Amino acid sequence: MCLALTIYHEARDQPMDGQIAVAQVVINRIHDPRYPSTVCDVVQQGPVTWHGPVIGECQFDWWCDGKSDIPKDRRSMRRARVIAEMVLAGKLADRVNGATHYHSTSVSPEWKLKFIARIGNHLLYR
């Protein structure tokens, strides 16, 4: 469910390739020793207080933006679940060449990472 929710919140407005790319970034982090080893731990990585995740300090914005995480668009959530299941089952090849990071084209973080590709409105890096 953590992967499906990440796809939903981070990429539901993207074409299928963009949604798959977001999922594969999460999976690539699991295989990278710098990150936790489970999907939920990767998605929920960041500082937490007794109130919950610290707003704006998480690896994935949807997890700590202070908004409800309950999906409102059932069709998009169903699609996100199918994509998550396919990625977790290894039915889709890595289309992001090992990328471990992405951001929307609407922001410009000062990352010192290698640019990999643009898929939809996400720029991917490792």
- State the angle between helix axes of 74-88 and 16-30 in degrees (0 to 180), rounded to the nearest 10: 50
Tens of pLDDT, residue by residue over 19-47, are: 999 999 999 999 999 999 999 999 998 76
Do residues 105 and 122 lie in contact, with contact meaning Cβ atoms separated by under 8 Å? Answer: yes
Inform me whether the pLDDT recorded for 80 exceeds 90.
Answer: yes
Q: Which helix (H) or strand (E) holds 124?
A: strand 122-125
Say whether pLDDT at 93 is over 80.
yes
Closest of 83, 72, 67 to residue 4, by C-alpha: 83
pLDDT of 54 higher than 80: no
Contact call for residues 103 and 123 (beta carbons, < 8 A): yes
Predicted pLDDT of residue 68: 87
Q: State residue 11's pLDDT score.
A: 95
Task: Give the C-alpha separation, 34 to 19, whole Å.
Answer: 23
Residues 83 and 76: their CA atoms lie apart, in Å, by 11
pLDDT of residue 111: 87
Q: What is the mean pLDDT of the chain?
A: 91
| pLDDT surpassing 80 at residue 52 | no
Tell me: domain 2-93, CATH 1.10.10, correct? Answer: yes
